[in-house]
């Protein structure tokens, strides 16, 4: 099954795709990817520019935006980039109109003061839809917490990614406040994401003599991504939390997992995650299609970097069966 794996919200940058001047477009595309790709140093850019210009002459009847971007992404794949991708004009429009993943969060009380909450992938860049998704998760947490929960199971096994921020804002009452993780680009530029008072906030830690493209949104000093006015706080902030993960836990699902790592009351159960642990910056082309570019590597609150999949604390065979839930329950019930 093909997965849709991406991060929305790190940045939305507009640049021009002039179909009437393919060479100019290729030059601009190369400049942006060269400046921002995590894998930029592995590409021969002089050679690639010639290849794209030759391709433009050969494929004059094909939309130059998709042709050039697809070709460039294939080059990035060859040097280890498994996360950048091209979005068609139609898919880009839909992303800002709806949640492309129809699965919704679920919660249930398991008895013994243990609650279970499942958070699926979320694929939308619409602010209103993002906020509603986050609020729904917090409402489910509040409903479960009426039993004064001493143990939580957060199920991310089927979370294939999308937009990390609504997931993290929704799970904020369990994740807790403070810096939750970092994005580090190839030049050492660092941005952290945090949760505080119902808000997910990103802040770019500027370096001296930083001369990268200044109009990229995630280079702003501080920005609030999602704010929940009536945010919830759990009754027992010291309750144990078991996070369930597996090879379908990818991209934003992995960033959500990373947000829990480093808490003394958290353990991860299951199998190693999908390995899409780079942060993507989204560039919208003038024809309304887009490219999501892997621009940084992720790190947890303790600055431990993740170059691939996240390995759980407790490996569980047949992790998608009840084995994983039962292993979590066994740990949660320990004194």
pLDDT in tens, 45-88: 999 988 888 887 765 544 556 788 889 999 999 999 999 988 88
Three-class SS state of 52? helix
Q: Is the pLDDT of residue 9 over 50?
A: no
Q: Quick one: pLDDT at residue 7?
A: 53
Q: What is the pLDDT of residues 175-212, one digit of tens each?
A: 999 999 999 999 888 999 999 999 999 988 866 544 44
Query: What is the C-alpha to C-alpha distance for residues 312 and 143, in angstroms, rounded to an integer?
Result: 28
Cα of first residue to Cα of last residue in the chain, in angstroms, is 41
For 43-59, b where at least 16 C-beta lie within 10 A, e where not — what string? beeeebbebbeebbeee
- Does residue 221 carry a pLDDT above 60? no
Indicate if the pLDDT at residue 11 is higher than 80.
no
The rounded distance, in Å, linking the Cα atoms of 28 and 35 is 11
pLDDT value for 3 = 37
**pLDDT, tens only, 116-150:** 999 999 999 899 999 999 999 999 999 999 988 99
Beta bridge mates, 267: 242
pLDDT at 154 exceeding the cut of 80: yes
pLDDT at 288: 72
Q: So what's the pLDDT on residue 206?
A: 66
pLDDT given at position 14? 46
pLDDT at 58: 66
Percent of the chain residues past pLDDT 70, beyond the cut = 85
CB 313 within 8 A of CB 271: no
DSSP alpha helices (H): ranges in 96-250? 127-144, 164-170, 172-175
């Amino acid at each position: 099954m093909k997965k849709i794996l991406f991060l929305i919200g790190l940045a939305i940058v507009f640049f021009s795709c002039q179909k009437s001047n393919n060479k100019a477009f290729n030059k601009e595309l190369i400049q942006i990817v060269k400046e921002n790709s995590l894998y930029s140093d592995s590409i021969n850019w002089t050679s690639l520019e010639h290849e794209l210009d030759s391709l433009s002459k050969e494929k004059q009847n094909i939309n130059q935006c998709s042709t050039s971007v697809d070709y460039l992404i294939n080059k990035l794949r060859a040097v280890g980039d498994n996360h950048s991708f091209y979005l068609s004009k139609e898919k880009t429009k839909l992303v800002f109109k709806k949640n492309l993943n129809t699965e919704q969060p679920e919660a249930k009380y398991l008895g013994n003061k243990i609650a279970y909450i499942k958070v699926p992938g979320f694929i939308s860049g619409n602010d209103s839809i993002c906020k509603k998704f986050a609020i729904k998760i917090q409402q489910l947490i509040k409903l479960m917490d009426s039993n004064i929960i001493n143990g939580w199971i957060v199920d991310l096994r089927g979370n294939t990614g999308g937009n990390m921020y609504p997931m993290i804002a929704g799970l904020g009452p369990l994740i807790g406040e403070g810096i939750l993780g970092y994005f580090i680009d190839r030049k050492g530029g660092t941005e952290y994401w945090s949760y505080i008072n119902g808000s997910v906030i990103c802040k770019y830690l500027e370096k001296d003599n930083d001369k990268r493209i200044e109009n990229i949104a995630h280079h702003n000093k501080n920005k609030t991504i999602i704010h929940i006015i009536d945010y919830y706080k759990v009754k027992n902030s010291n309750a144990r939390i078991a996070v369930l993960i597996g090879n379908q836990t990818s991209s934003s699902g992995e960033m959500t997992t990373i947000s829990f790592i480093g808490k003394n009351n958290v353990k991860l159960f299951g199998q190693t995650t999908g390995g899409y642990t780079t942060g993507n910056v989204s560039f919208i082309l003038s024809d309304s299609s887009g490219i999501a570019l892997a621009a940084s590597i992720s790190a947890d609150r303790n600055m431990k970097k993740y170059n691939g999949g996240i390995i759980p604390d407790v490996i569980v065979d047949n992790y998608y069966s009840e084995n994983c839930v039962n292993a979590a329950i066994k740990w949660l019930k320990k004194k």
